Amino acid sequence: MTFHPPSKDTTPGRSAIELWDGDRQAATIYAGRAGIMIEFEPGYEAGNMEIGIRGGAGVLVPVIAA
């Protein structure tokens, strides 16, 4: 997987980065004032990928997808 700059404009006040699996886009990760949102592409749903948050102390806290 590799990160790419967003291919489209984002909402003002929000940043984005795309996650690619070879030649297929897997997800777009958005960061804004309210927090972080991950928008998955078909075939790359949250249940198929490990998602975690690393805190300041270097602890990996698992995130349970709804």
Question: Which residue ranges make up each domain of the chain?
Answer: 2-62
Token code pair at residue 41: 């592409």
Mind listing the pLDDT tens digit for each residue in 10-27? Answer: 776 678 899 999 999 999
The CA radius of gyration of the chain, in Å to the nearest whole number, is 13
State what percent of residues in the chain have pLDDT above 90: 18
Give the pTM.
0.67
Higher-confidence position of 33 and 16: 16
